[in-house]
Amino acid sequence: MKGSIFEGFGSMVVAVLVALSIRWLLIEAYVIPSGSMLPTLLIHDHIFVNKIVYGVRVPFGKTWVVKFSSPERNDVIVFKYPRDESTFFIKRVIGLPGDKVQYENGNLYINGEQIEKVPATRPEDFEWVRDFELPGGKDDYVFFDEKLTEEGHSTLLRRGQIHSGFGPEEIPKDYLFVMGDNRDNSNDSRMWGYVPMNNILGKAMFVWLSCDETLPVLTFLCDPREVRWGRLFHWIE
């Protein structure tokens, strides 16, 4: 009997260590709390973040043990908010070290060239957004693809808005410039500056669960009656 107790305890310890190792090294789950990344990410999207794609860090620290790659323009990343590192943000990488970034009248410029806007290629992204999640309602917004890369990504701008400007400024070494896809409703690098590379936690991979509403008391859990089944295993672009 005594041996069974110790064996059971040992198995539990091993299971906990394995789970913590996976979270530290490989993947971690996060929940989207706000609409700053609409229409790419919805409120109550549950996502997996790739922790190893950029490298391996000291557990619970910011020092890199080994680096495999650097974030690329258009990556959607999770990072520690520079003004309060107990808070995690998710945004899209817009400017890399050495880039000169400018944002004016809803137009993005990188190294002096305006980033192309084209008609949206994924209309379903905007269809998921609920009217009340955007100030003024969906009819007040322009939905398009911004071609940071060849694939482009879904972006929102509010019609008639005086869009907050930025730059032109050159991004320093070891820092990134990030923005939300919901451009007029995002607290990002335009307001508080650059993201240090050491603050990056990983790259967003896919939505594994999504719901319109959470449970009344356990607000971190999806209401099973409100699951958005069509978003399960939706890849984040």
Tokens representing 24? Answer: 């530290």
Phi first, then psi, for residue 181 (nearest 5°) are -70, -25
Q: Can you tell me the distance from the alpha carbon of 64 to that of 197, in angstroms, rounded to the nearest whole number? A: 10
Q: Which amino acid is it at 199?
A: N
Residue that is written with structure tokens 């109550």 in the block: 44
The answer to whether residue 70 is catalytic is no
Tokens representing 207? Answer: 């939505």
Specify which residues 103 forms β-bridges with. 108, 166
The answer to whether residue 91 is catalytic is yes
Q: Which of 36, 154, 186, 210 is catalytic?
A: 36
Q: Can you tell me the distance from the alpha carbon of 173 to that of 125, in angstroms, rounded to the nearest whole number? A: 34
Strand positions, DSSP E, 42-197: 45-50, 55-57, 64-67, 76-80, 88-95, 100-104, 107-110, 113-114, 117-119, 141-146, 153-158, 166-170, 175-179, 195-196
Q: Which of 51, 80, 91, 203 is catalytic?
A: 91
Q: Which residues are identified as catalytic?
A: 36, 91
